[in-house]
């Protein structure tokens, strides 16, 4: 056998690459589901609250908390989708190289979890604050 003969493909290595690719696919799909939930819930909250305000006959405050919360959730959904797609493309590019090298990177989940935690704290604070104001008004 001459030294210039092409190296036969290692089928097990190629199959492992395929598995990594579809694992990346599944990760992206999980992110898509999360984004969809964020966008759907955000949009749903805003639409429902707007219609209920209409029913009561109140003037809709454009800077109401539910509206800001909805926009925050939808914004987070868009950010999550874009970042997950960028990460997926990076993984595909790494898999395309002859020698695969694992590169540690900042997990997107950490950012999203922290953002959700901040939103949860903000929501809880707003609800408690409103309750306190409502009690003070009714006491008067």
Partner 1 sequence: MRVDRLLTRQITASVFVYPHYQLPTVMHTPNSEPTPPNPATELAKERNRAAEERTLMAWIRTCLSLISFGVGIDRIVAVLQQNLGDAVNPLRLSRILGLSFVALGTLAMLAAAIDHRYQLQRIQRNDLIYVSRHSPSLVVALVLAILGAIAFLGLLLGTVISF
Q: What are phi and psi of 62, to 5 degrees?
A: -65, -20
Q: How far is CA 92 from the centre of its chain?
A: 20
Q: How far is the CB of 57 from partner 1 (least distance, A)?
A: 10
Q: How far is Cα 121 from Cα 72, in angstroms, rounded to an integer?
A: 14
Q: How far is Cα 61 from Cα 81, in angstroms, rounded to an integer?
A: 30
Number of amino acids touching partner 1 (CB under 8 A): 53
Q: Is 16 in the site for partner 1 (CB under 8 A)?
A: yes
Q: Cβ distance 98 to 52 under 8 Å? A: no
Q: Cβ distance 77 to 36 under 8 Å? A: yes
With CB under 8 A as the contact rule, the residue among 58, 90, 92, 113 that binds partner 1 is 92
Q: Is 95 in the site for partner 1 (CB under 8 A)?
A: yes
With CB under 8 A as the contact rule, the residue among 1, 5, 11, 139 that binds partner 1 is 11
Q: Where are the alpha helices (DSSP H) in the chain?
A: 11-56, 65-96, 108-139
User: Restricting to residues 30-69, which ones interact with partner 1 according to CB under 8 A?
Assistant: 30-33, 35-37, 39-40, 42-44, 46-48, 51-52, 54-55, 60, 62, 67
Residues within the interface to partner 1 (CB under 8 A): 9, 11-12, 14-19, 21-23, 25-26, 28-33, 35-37, 39-40, 42-44, 46-48, 51-52, 54-55, 60, 62, 67, 70-71, 74-75, 77-78, 81-82, 84-85, 88-89, 92, 95-96
């Amino acid at each position: 056998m001459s030294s210039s003969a092409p190296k036969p493909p290692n089928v097990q290595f190629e199959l492992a690459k395929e598995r990594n690719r579809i694992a990346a696919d599944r990760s992206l799909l999980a992110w898509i589901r999360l984004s969809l939930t964020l966008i759907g819930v955000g949009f749903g909250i805003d639409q429902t609250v707007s219609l209920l305000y209409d029913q009561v006959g109140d003037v809709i405050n454009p800077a109401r908390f539910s509206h800001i919360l909805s926009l925050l959730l939808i914004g987070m959904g868009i950010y999550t989708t874009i970042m997950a797609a960028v990460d997926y493309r990076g993984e595909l590019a790494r898999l395309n190289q002859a020698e695969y090298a694992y590169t540690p990177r900042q997990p997107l989940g950490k950012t999203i979890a922290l953002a959700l935690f901040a939103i949860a704290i903000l929501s809880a604070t707003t609800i408690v604050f409103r309750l306190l104001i409502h009690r003070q008004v009714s006491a008067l």
